[in-house]
Chains A and B, each alone.
Chain A
């Protein structure tokens, strides 16, 4: 609150002291509020905020967890870009996954929420459950491994063999031609989560009278209704959903690891999240892994901020 003026240096010291004592007084008065937020803020600081700071700092060091970190300057970043081919593959894949699964899942969430909203309340509740269930079903995605298992007993192979489309069972999760599309399908299957629910709620809470007013003003079909009335009135949900989708899209790695192993054939579905876990938790190159985490952090924040700007223009 005080900072900018203090920095500019326009405020006299006496003024500062007065304001500081006012602030302190106010803080003393708010003791109880601070007690209420304390447990959360403390845990949040130690396990979310502090790690980001540590990660940024460690990114400039060599650190193996046992010895004291050694200053490395930009060495880790140079290595990432110039000497680590796998990182280049990983970052390409990360962007590829994000560019495909992010928008697709966002649009799927929005589209299905919109369609479901047209149903009667009972059907609506049922369909919401059907679409939302995969994302909360624990580790159910391993069922894809069984459906697409590499032997002829896997359901997909069985059907294709029986129909005579293939002669040999396909190794779905080790063959580089099939891994990427299959992993994308599974990620999409899992991705109707928080954003989807937010959109369902958003659609239900649009003021009904707006639609009648819109019809009078010449809104002719459901598309126009969506664009001119619904989307602008649920813009806050759209922004929230975008944050959820983008963050999930760039953090991708768990599904890949579960379906194709921590290191996939030819790194075909390797992502930055997996690569940094590989270097950090397996090889204990904490400095290098932190540098990668820092890159990922800024990519996520940057994309989020950028998309927020874009979305704020919807329907205006």
Chain B
């Protein structure tokens, strides 16, 4: 395929190629600019943050903003490391639970035949068509009843059953060859064992995709419009995105530290995506919806 790309391809004009390159560059710069700006801000010393006219790039990069984070927050009653721990905790527990629970369900929906399976999948697809804003109020009532207000369960447990993860996994598993499952059954392997030892190791692209999507959802919990914002109010349970606001509220000297948190928040999911990109694209190839 590489050779195919190198030579002038079918139906491709030179002018068109140039136009595409131009549009992609403009679009790319627009997308990257704020991120580059955030990185520059995070490395700017105080005097560069507050000069007029403001400069885009950093001249004398410093790590002071990053070390300030821990220093600033050690004076408040919740240390900064606690916010990091909280975000890591809900992200890891929530994602792990989601991958296991949704994969189990996806496997049965894709590879078993039982009464009600189509109904379950149809409802899950329907749930992709409305956003959590709709269920916000009743969810509050349910959480209050369960006693889960101000408890991580309110964020983690619903994330276990994220419908997008189930949807993608089920679509991907459809392709898994039935013959392999059949021979495992003949060899006397239980469904549970088949699932863990044959299906899951072979469906790595799909569960890595679930990891990315779940990760992304949980990692930003605490920001505006997320459920952590509604359910969590104890300071020691709050998460990284909340700490950005608190740092920024601390006055103008904190802008660099705020940017440092943002860069930290950005690096983790972006790195995960870089590592898993090819797997995710492979999974998305089966994401299609039938009418």
Give the distance in Å from the alpha carbon of A12 to the alpha carbon of B151 in the complex: 53
- Are A55's CB and B289's CB within 8 A? no
User: Which residues of B approach A to under 8 Å, CB–CB?
Assistant: 1-2, 4-6, 10-13, 16-17, 20, 23-24, 27-28, 30-32, 34-35, 37-38, 41, 49-54, 56, 101-102, 104-105, 107-109, 112-115, 117, 120, 123-124, 126-142, 144, 157-158, 160-161, 163-164, 166, 191, 195, 212-213, 216, 219-220, 222-226, 230, 240-241, 244, 248, 255, 258-259, 262, 265-266, 268-270, 273-274, 277-278, 280-285, 287-291
- Are A140's CB and B132's CB within 8 A? no
Tell me, rounded to whole Å, the shortest Cβ–Cβ distance linking B231 to chain A.
Answer: 10
Residues from chain B with Cβ under 8 Å of A166 in the complex: none
Query: In the complex, which of the residues B38, B130, B137 contacts A58, with contact meaning CB atoms closer than 8 Å?
Result: B137
- Are B134's CB and A243's CB within 8 A? no
Measured CB to CB, the nearest residue on chain A to B281 is: A201
Residues from chain B with Cβ under 8 Å of A44 in the complex: 123-124, 127, 161, 163
- Are B225's CB and A304's CB within 8 A? no
Tell me, rounded to whole Å, the shortest Cβ–Cβ distance linking A37 to chain B.
Answer: 5
Q: Is A232 an interface residue (CB 8 A)?
A: no
Given pairs A54-B141, A136-B270, A197-B284, 19 additional interface contacts (CB within 8 A): A33-B114, A40-B161, A50-B142, A118-B12, A118-B20, A121-B5, A128-B281, A135-B216, A136-B273, A138-B223, A143-B262, A144-B34, A147-B34, A192-B31, A197-B280, A215-B11, A254-B224, A290-B137, A312-B291
- Are A30's CB and B52's CB within 8 A? no
Measured CB to CB, the nearest residue on chain A to B215 is: A136
User: Which residues of A approach B to under 8 Å, CB–CB?
Assistant: 1, 23, 26-27, 30, 32-34, 36-37, 39-41, 43-44, 46-52, 54-55, 58, 65, 108, 111-112, 115-116, 118-121, 125, 127-144, 146-147, 152-155, 158-159, 161-162, 189, 192, 194, 197-198, 200-202, 204-205, 208, 211-212, 215, 219-222, 224-225, 234-237, 239-240, 243-244, 246-248, 250-251, 253-255, 257-258, 272-273, 276-277, 280-281, 286, 289-290, 293-294, 296-297, 300-301, 304-305, 308, 312
- Are A138's CB and B265's CB within 8 A? yes
Give the distance in Å from the alpha carbon of A297 to the alpha carbon of B16 in the complex: 42
What are the nearest 8 A-B pairs in CB distance?
Answer: A236-B288, A254-B225, A251-B131, A30-B114, A138-B265, A40-B105, A201-B284, A51-B138
- Are A255's CB and B224's CB within 8 A? yes
Query: In the complex, which of the residues B2, B23, B104 contacts A37, with contact meaning CB atoms closer than 8 Å?
Result: B104
- Are B262's CB and A297's CB within 8 A? no
A128, A197, A202, A257 pick with most chain B CB within 10 angstroms: A197
- Are B101's CB and A39's CB within 8 A? yes
- Are B35's CB and A55's CB within 8 A? no
Residues from chain A with Cβ under 8 Å of B126 in the complex: 301
Query: In the complex, which of the residues A146, A225, A294, A304 contacts B41, with contact meaning CB atoms closer than 8 Å?
Result: A146
Residues from chain A with Cβ under 8 Å of B24 in the complex: 112, 115-116, 119, 127
Measured CB to CB, the nearest residue on chain B to A111 is: B23
Give the distance in Å from the alpha carbon of A212 to the alpha carbon of B16 in the complex: 19
Residues from chain A with Cβ under 8 Å of B12 in the complex: 118, 222
Main secondary structure of the interface of B (DSSP, over half): helix
- Are B135's CB and A51's CB within 8 A? yes
Query: In the complex, which of the residues B37, B132, B220 contacts A147, with contact meaning CB atoms closer than 8 Å?
Result: B37
- Are B288's CB and A240's CB within 8 A? yes
Residues from chain B with Cβ under 8 Å of A286 in the complex: 137, 140-141
Tell me, rounded to whole Å, the shortest Cβ–Cβ distance linking B37 to chain A.
Answer: 6
Measured CB to CB, the nearest residue on chain A to B131 is: A251
Give the distance in Å from the alpha carbon of A248 to the alpha carbon of B281 in the complex: 21
Residues from chain A with Cβ under 8 Å of B56 in the complex: 155
- Are B130's CB and A247's CB within 8 A? yes
Tell me, rounded to whole Å, the shortest Cβ–Cβ distance linking A69 to chain B.
Answer: 10
Measured CB to CB, the nearest residue on chain B to A151 is: B252
Measured CB to CB, the nearest residue on chain B to A253 is: B225
Residues from chain A with Cβ under 8 Å of B259 in the complex: 143, 146
Give the distance in Å from the alpha carbon of A44 to the alpha carbon of B120 in the complex: 10
Measured CB to CB, the nearest residue on chain A to B220 is: A138
Residues from chain A with Cβ under 8 Å of B283 in the complex: 201
Residues from chain B with Cβ under 8 Å of A146 in the complex: 37, 41, 255, 258-259
Give the distance in Å from the alpha carbon of A6 to the alpha carbon of B29 in the complex: 62
- Are A290's CB and B138's CB within 8 A? yes
Residues from chain A with Cβ under 8 Å of B129 in the complex: 243, 246-247, 300-301, 304-305
- Are B287's CB and A198's CB within 8 A? yes
Residues from chain A with Cβ under 8 Å of B135 in the complex: 47-48, 51-52, 55, 293
23 contacts between A and B (CB under 8 A): A30-B114, A36-B108, A37-B120, A43-B158, A44-B123, A51-B139, A120-B2, A120-B5, A128-B277, A134-B34, A135-B216, A146-B259, A159-B54, A161-B53, A192-B31, A194-B164, A212-B10, A221-B13, A235-B288, A254-B224, A281-B140, A290-B137, A308-B289
- Are A27's CB and B128's CB within 8 A? no
Residues from chain A with Cβ under 8 Å of B248 in the complex: 142
Residues from chain B with Cβ under 8 Å of A131 in the complex: 27-28, 31
Give the distance in Å from the alpha carbon of A32 to the alpha carbon of B224 in the complex: 41
- Are B104's CB and A293's CB within 8 A? no
Query: In the complex, which of the residues A36, A112, A134, A273 contacts B131, with contact meaning CB atoms closer than 8 Å?
Result: A273
Residues from chain B with Cβ under 8 Å of A208 in the complex: 1, 4
Query: In the complex, which of the residues B102, B128, B137, B278 contacts A276, with contact meaning CB atoms closer than 8 Å?
Result: B137
- Are A115's CB and B50's CB within 8 A? no
Measured CB to CB, the nearest residue on chain B to A277 is: B136
